[in-house]
Every structure is written in C-alpha cells, then in structure tokens.
Amino acid sequence: MHSENPGTAAERLTGRQVRGERPLSATLAEVTLDGGQVVMVKRGDGPGAARAEAAGLRWLSDTGTVRVPAVYGHDAHWLVTEHVPRGRPDRQAAVRFGADLATLHSTGATAFGAAPPDGPAHAYIGLAPMRNTPGADWPHWYAEHRVLPYLRRAVDEGVMRADETAVVERVCERLPELAGPAEPPARLHGDLWNGNVLWGADGHAWLIDPASHGGHRETDLAMLHLFGCPHLDLVLEGYQRAVPLADGWADRIPLHQLFPLLVHTVLFGRGYAEQSLTAARAALTGRRGGGE
C-alpha cells in the first residue's frame, strides 16, 4: 500500500473514483473525486504517522472549537482529508482564532502526554518520532519526555557537543520552579507553528498537521511565537479575553520553545542547536523569548 500513488489511495479509502490529481510535494497531493470534490491526500512520513494525524484531527474536531479539516479516510500509510480553500489572514479571523484556541486548550486531556483516544503512543512531530507517555506532573514530564530525548539524540548524532548540554540539563533540573503556576493538562495541537495555521477563504483560521497530545497550553503559544504568525498580537488578545494566561507567561516562552527547537536540531542541524542553547539560557534568566 505504501507504494500507491495518491489517487489510488484516495479511491481505495473513500470508495469514489478519482478524476484528477495535482502533486503539491513528495508526500502531498490535491485529488479531485467523482462529482468534483477536491480532497487532500497525504502519505505518512513514518509508521503510524497517518493514524496519529487522523486521531489528532478528530480529537481537536470533537471539541467544536478550532476549525480542522474533516478526515475522510486513513490507513497505516495514507490520510485523506477535506480540502480548505485558502484566503488571507485578517484581524477579525485572528481574534476569533485566539478565542477558539483558548477554548480548545480548556477542553483538556486525561494527562500530560496523553495521546488522542484512538491515537498511537508512538507518534510524530513533523518528521521526528514523538512518544506520548502519560505523566501527572508537567515539569517532570516535559523534561523526561519532551526535552531530554531530543537533547540526547542531538548529541548522539553529532549536532550538539556533550559539553554544551549542561545548560539544558540545568533547565530540566529547575523546571519545577521555572514552570509557573500549575495548570491542568490542555488539549494541544502540538505542532502549532505558522505553517500549520491555514487562513481559509471562509474567514477562519484552520489548523492542519497536528501532533496532538495533552500538554501545557503555553507550549502551543510559544510555537506560534517561534516562527511568527500573522496578527499574533490579535490572536493573543482573543486568547486572553476568552481564557486569561497565568502571570509571567511571556517570560516562559523560551522554556516552551526548547522542545520544538531541539526537535529542529535533530531534524535540521547545528543552526537550531545554537537557538536551543540560547532558549535554555533565556529560560534560566526569565528573559522573554520571541522567534526568528
């Protein structure tokens, strides 16, 4: 099945004939079904990736908060979802997105690290494997299951020197005091960088490509800061109106960016190692972070 093309996979998973196919990348295509409906067909990047993404989309959709594409079918290798016509980001959509995101987070999860109900423990964040292991305490869970595994892999793969790890390890040791007020597990998108926010022609922000799990809501917001997001100030305004953030949240942005930066270090190399170390130093000093 993994050797199929997107059109054949769409036909098999939807039970409808395919009338056209337009590749967008090596793993993504727009496919036109009988009757004219256009769907997105994506090949998973690793074992279980398509299943994990489908489960994440359904978990987010079940809340009735943020907009996510409907899942029309999936198997071990392929995912077929709704095609969302693109528009342009606008101020009203940004405020609405912030409020919806806050409400999504508030719907919660059973534990930090909890996978969506029908999702696998072995999931992905982008191209990197991500294990969803439940934990009751966010600081210890974040260190053990989100920061340290990617730090060790970065050293093993030679993109970070062993003598550079001390500052990150110090962050992990001090996490209970750096983490801010305790919060219940939030229902996260999990990979909420700007490229996964699709501004639709319908005037809404749609979320795609989740790495959903139970986590700290500030992690999603730190991801939005990392690579920039249109009208981010208005997104945050909408968020704060709906469910205010804890005092000092902006000073904790580097702490929450440490995880995605280490993932990027593993995937893309030395430049992100430098950014990871900078974020770790900022987390220790409580200096507000931002992005690129």
Contact between residue 213 and residue 190 where contact means Cβ atoms under 8 Å apart:
yes
pTM: 0.94
199, β-bridge pairs: 205
pLDDT tens series, the chain, 292 aa = 456 899 999 999 999 999 999 999 989 999 999 999 999 999 988 888 999 999 999 999 999 999 999 999 999 899 999 999 999 999 999 999 999 999 999 999 999 999 999 999 999 999 999 999 999 899 999 999 999 999 999 999 999 999 999 999 999 999 999 999 999 999 999 999 999 999 999 999 999 999 999 999 999 999 999 988 999 999 999 999 999 999 999 999 999 999 999 999 999 999 999 999 999 999 999 766 444 3
SS3 labels along 208-255: CCCCCEEECHHHHHHHHHHCCCCCHHHHHHHHHHHCCCCCCHHHHHHH
Residue ranges covered by each domain of the chain: 6-82, 91-285
CA 244 – CA 240 distance, rounded (Å): 4
200, β-bridge pairs: 86
Distance of CA 269 to the CA centre of its chain: 20
Confidence (pLDDT) at 46: 83
CATH top-level class of 91-285 = alpha beta
Going along the chain, which residue ranges are E strands? 18-23, 28-33, 38-43, 71-74, 78-82, 122-125, 128-131, 186-188, 197-199, 205-207, 213-215
CA 79 – CA 266 distance, rounded (Å): 25
From the options 3.30.200.20, 3.40.50.300, 3.40.50.1100, 1.10.3720.10, give the CATH code of 6-82. Answer: 3.30.200.20
C-beta atoms surrounding 58 within 10 Å: 19
Under DSSP, the state recorded for 184 is P
